[in-house]
Structures are given as structure tokens and as C-alpha cells.
Structure 1
Amino acid sequence: MATASSVSPGDVARQAMSAELLDAATEHALACRWRDERDEAALHRLVTAYMRLAISMAAKYRRYGAPMSDLIQEASVGLMKAASKFDPDRGVRFSTYAVWWIKASIQDYVMRNWSLVRTGSTSSQKSLFFNMRRVRARIEAELAHDGGEVTPADMRREIAEELGVPLRDVEMMEARLAGADFSLNAQQAGEDGREWVETLEDEAPRPDEVVTRRRDLGTARGWLNDAFTALTPRERMIIGARKLADEPETLESLGEKLGLSKERVRQLEAQALRKMRARLESAHGGAVGELAATL
């Protein structure tokens, strides 16, 4: 299947319009072959047949300023996700099922790229972003027809009730949509001409904090090594496998290696941790209270 990255949107649209139209029986057979046999030829035929649907839905989001080629690409991603999850035995046509996946994929892309600072990602924010203008226009048209007026506050309440979202989300989205993106590299008014980015606080740790943390980590590592040596070889093996490995082993797998039951391994692990905690507290007192508490 040609994608937006390899040909122009016009070429993709022409290819999609020339694709076959599947009847219900053929669609079901293709979906079954993909689900049961992972037949890629069947998947290709199924997806290609419904690219016209994906392109049609992508075209509805051009007003948000995203390139049509990118919208088609995201619609294709949604179509592929739908094909991978579709169950042909549920009695639903693939097009009905795919619509929701295509729409979700396109909307996620638009919200990620329209403005990283003006939009959000919750379900209520998503609903507002794509529907607030439509609902506002309808309410205004109804009021104009009836000769009524509504205050901005009343309008926001009407929108919140219509879309079933909190009023504060309507107020927040309204402010975000009304404002323009502001470059952090823009210069401030004044003689110094500093850029706004220079006023942002650096959230990285200060050099003295970095040095202190490294020193504390080195000290803690030494204390833990000392406590570790207080364990028997079997206890060290269990703690190493359970607490120090990148992928901790299960109690069951350790039990098989040691010829012990899963419960016995758990008891030995708890016993080893108590030993380490006691060693830390006796050797270093209150200074190691927080570290010992983690064991």
C-alpha cells in the first residue's frame, strides 16, 4: 500500500479511489485469514480497500493546519490498528469498526502538533478542542433566530452542559484557543533586550547538590556492600537475584535452582533483609535510618 511518505496526497487519493469495494463476505474472509493465518496479502487487500475511508476522514481535519500528507499518514496508522484488532466474528462491518481508530489516531496527531502549549490530552480537553467552536456556533445561531442574547459566562455554561465537561475546562480551553503561541526567543521590551527564555528558572540540580548527592550515594553504596558481606552465600545469591538484577528472578525460579519451595525462598529473602537492616543500624546508627527502612 502506498503511504503519504512515498507519494503525494493526490496520488494516494487516486489510488484509494481505484481500489476494490469489498462485499461483506469477502471482507469477513480476508479478516479471518489475517487473524487466523497472519496472511499479509489479505491484510493488504483489506486495508487498501478502506484507504478511501481513511482519506475522507483525514480531509475533515485540514482546517487545523496540519499537512494533508501527515493527516493521511495518521489515518493510515489508525486503519492498520483497526485491522490488527478487528474481530470478524462479532458481526460488525470493518468500516464501522475502523472509523473510531482512524478518528482517534488523527485527533491525537492534531492535538500533539497544533500547539504543544495550548492544548491538553484529557478526554474533556479533546472533546472541547474538536467540538467547542461547533457548539458555540449552533448556540449563537439559535439565539440569533430567537432574537435573544447570552453573556460569555452563560455561553461557557451552555457549552459545558452540551459537551458534558467541567466548566473550568471550558474556560481553560477558551483561553488557550484565544491566545497565540509566544516564542521564548522573542526579546523583552526594555534596553537590555533579553530573550524571554533567559528568565526561565533552571530546574537542573545545582552543582553543590550534584556533588553532595554523588558523595551520599558513594557512602550509601559502601554501607550496603558492608551489610551484604554479613550474609551467607545463599542469602547473597537470593538478594542479588531478587534485588540487584536488572530483571529480578521470581521466587519460583530461584526455588527450582536452590531445590527449595517458593515459600522457603521468600523466608530466606526476608531473613537476609533483616540481617542487612540490623547490620546497617548497628554500624551506622541514626544516620542510616532512611536507607535501612528501604530494606
Structure 2
Amino acid sequence: MAMTYDGDGSRIVAKQAMAAEMLDAETELGLARAWRDTGDEAALHRLVNAYMRLAVSMASKYRRYGAPMPDLIQEAGVGLMKAAEKFDPDRGVRFSTYAVWWIKASIQDYVMRNWSMVRTGSTSSQKALFFNLRRVRAKFEREAGAVGEEIRGQELREKIAIEVGVPLRDVEMMDARLAGSDFSLNAQQAGEEGREWVETLEDSTPQAEETVSRDQDLGRARTWLRDALETLNQRERMIIVERQLKDTPRTLESLGNELGLSKERIRQLEAQALKKLRRELEQTTGNAAAMLAIA
């Protein structure tokens, strides 16, 4: 069931996706089981088509990286297919919640492979840096501006490295690779009279049914994560909570000062704890580690 798009094909796919049926939980469950248990390709086709709108919506969010929209949609479709192949309907999670992480991973891998300047960097930390560098930089610049100061150059890169939890050399390399490679969403499209790229973005606001399903799934995910955290020792649990589960994550430096350890040791303990979490979640819930976006 390979999907290819060329020219205006992405618009056609988007229109078809928006017109596809909306599946209720019972129908979705029946289709997923039919595909898993009997290899029913008609059920798979119906399940994937119903959630292609989700794939198209997520693909549109990565236009700012300069990748062609047809390619982004195709990669989103690949992620959707992978999700359908690996989905276990008996886990009690809606397919849309599970599929989000496979779609996102597929798109991000494509962007990383094809970015005009980035030809290397596929580890989780490099991927996190690639997709968060501009956001973290903007945050520090806003904070400095709020007190009438200016932050730039090496000082800014050092703060970014600590915030994201990666070596300074990675920040320097990625910063150089990303320099000047973005384009504005307010730029006008070729052949479109006064139409800006931003006008083509899909409305990804969840509907009422999607919101309820998402909240239920998130409740289960929190339970799984809470149980997995109990397998960590007190220090590991503290580091994960402070670094991964807070709205404003603690820096490696601040945790190191509190625990009397170096930043590098905190980084090692964090990686060790994440590995334990992944193992526990995989044993308990199959692919839940991917669904919960444990870095």
C-alpha cells in the first residue's frame, strides 16, 4: 500500500483525507483486530484512510524546514502504516494516540535526512537539538531582553547546551548547519495570487470526540509511567522528574549542584534511568516507550 504524490497530489490527498470517515472506538477496534488477527487488508486500508487527515495535519507542521509538502505527506503516511502494523488493539489505547508518535518519528527522520545542511545526526539527543534549538534560543533571548540585556554568541550556545542536555560542540555544529536555512511562512507561494504559505496550514484543533479519547489515553499513559518510575531508585526518579516531567526542566548544572555531582555524571544517571524506563515500559505495554515519547 505504498503512497506516492507528485505535483498537486498533496492537495488531492489532503482533500481526500478531510473527507474520509470518522471512526468510533468500537469500529476502530474491530478493524484493528481484523488486520492483526486475519491480515484483512480491507480493514487496514479503511483504518489508515480514516486517520490520513491526522498524518496530513502533522506533516503541515514541518513545512518550515523547507521539505516539499508531498514528501512530508508521504513520510507521514509511512509512519501511519508502521503504526497500523504494530498497533495492539487490546492495550486499551486509541489508534490515533498511538499513531501520533510513529508519524512524528517518520517525518522527523525524513527532515533530518534531507535537510540541506544536515547530513549526519540521527541519535535521540541530536534529533532533540535539531528540532528544539531555535525554540530554546528564542526563550533565552526573550528572558535576557525582559531585563534589558542581550545574550549571544558563545554564552548563548553554552546555555542552550545545558538546557537541552547535549555537549557544547553539538550545539556549535548544529547552529552552523541550521544558519539561514529556514524560510518564512508569510512568504507568498509561487503561482498563488497573494496567498501565503501560512494560509494552507490545516486546522489541527481536536474535535470533542478526539479530546475525550485523548484524555482517556493520556490517563492510561500516566498510570504506566507512574508504575515504571517506581522501578527507579530515589535519585534516578528525582532526575527523571526534574529533567523530563516538569514544564520547566531543571538544568544538568542545577541538579549537579544540589546532588553534589558533575553535570556529566547527572547526564549519565539520566541516560541510565531512561534506559530502565524504556525496558520497563516495553515489558509492560509493548511499544509504550515510543508512544510516551520517552527521549
Scaled by the length of structure 1, the TM-score of the pair is 0.57
Report the counterpart of residue 89 of structure 1 in structure 2. 90
Matched-pair contact (CA < 8 Å) for 2:34–2:43: yes
Separation in structure 2 between the aligned mates of residue 17 and residue 175 of structure 1, nearest angstrom: 39
- Post-superposition offset of 1:27: 1.0
Report the counterpart of residue 5 of structure 1 in structure 2. 5
Query: CA distance change for structure 1 residues 117 and 102 in 2, over 3 Å: closer, same or farther?
Result: closer
Separation in structure 1 between the aligned mates of residue 51 and residue 45 of structure 2, nearest angstrom: 10
Structure with greater contact order relative to length (CA < 8 Å, sep ≥ 6)? 2
Query: CA distance change for structure 1 residues 143 and 179 in 2, over 3 Å: closer, same or farther?
Result: closer
**Range moving further from structure 2, 107-116 or 130-139:** 107-116
Query: Does the residue aligned with 1:13 lie in a helix, a strand or coil?
Result: helix
Separation in structure 1 between the aligned mates of residue 2 and residue 49 of structure 2, nearest angstrom: 9
Are positions 1:20 and 2:30 aligned together?
Answer: no
Report the counterpart of residue 63 of structure 2 in structure 1. 62
Give a deviation string over 1:237-282, Cα, whole Å, max 9, x none. Answer: xxxxxxxxxxxxxxxxxxxxxxxxxxxxxxxxxxxxxxxxxxxxxx
Report the counterpart of residue 196 of structure 2 in structure 1. none
Query: CA distance change for structure 1 residues 149 and 179 in 2, over 3 Å: closer, same or farther?
Result: closer
Separation in structure 2 between the aligned mates of residue 68 and residue 117 of structure 1, nearest angstrom: 19
- Post-superposition offset of 1:176: 2.1
Query: Does the residue aligned with 2:158 lie in a helix, a strand or coil?
Result: helix
- Post-superposition offset of 1:34: 0.5
Query: Does the residue aligned with 2:129 lie in a helix, a strand or coil?
Result: helix
- Post-superposition offset of 1:150: 2.5
Report the counterpart of residue 174 of structure 1 in structure 2. 175
Query: Pairwise mapping of residues 106-255 of structure 1 onto structure 2 (< 5 A)?
Result: 106-115=107-116, 118-178=119-179
Report the counterpart of residue 195 of structure 1 in structure 2. none
Share of identical aligned residues, percent? Answer: 73
- Post-superposition offset of 1:48: 0.4
Matched-pair contact (CA < 8 Å) for 1:124–1:169: no
Separation in structure 2 between the aligned mates of residue 4 and residue 62 of structure 1, nearest angstrom: 18
Matched-pair contact (CA < 8 Å) for 2:140–2:151: no
Larger Rg: 1
Quote the RMSD (CA, aligned, Å). Answer: 2.0
Query: CA distance change for structure 1 residues 117 and 60 in 2, over 3 Å: closer, same or farther?
Result: closer
Query: Does the residue aligned with 1:142 lie in a helix, a strand or coil?
Result: helix
- Post-superposition offset of 1:153: 2.2
- Post-superposition offset of 1:131: 1.0
- Post-superposition offset of 1:37: 0.8
Report the counterpart of residue 50 of structure 1 in structure 2. 51
- Post-superposition offset of 1:117: 5.2
Separation in structure 2 between the aligned mates of residue 68 and residue 127 of structure 1, nearest angstrom: 22
Query: Does the residue aligned with 1:25 lie in a helix, a strand or coil?
Result: helix
Report the counterpart of residue 104 of structure 1 in structure 2. 105
Separation in structure 2 between the aligned mates of residue 42 and residue 32 of structure 1, nearest angstrom: 9
- Post-superposition offset of 1:151: 4.2
The aligned amino acid for 2:171 is V
Report the counterpart of residue 218 of structure 1 in structure 2. none
Matched-pair contact (CA < 8 Å) for 1:118–1:177: no
Residue segments in structure 1 that go unaligned for 5+ positions in a row: 181-295
Scaled by the length of structure 2, the TM-score of the pair is 0.57
The aligned amino acid for 1:8 is G
Query: Does the residue aligned with 1:121 lie in a helix, a strand or coil?
Result: coil
**Range moving further from structure 2, 113-122 or 82-91:** 113-122
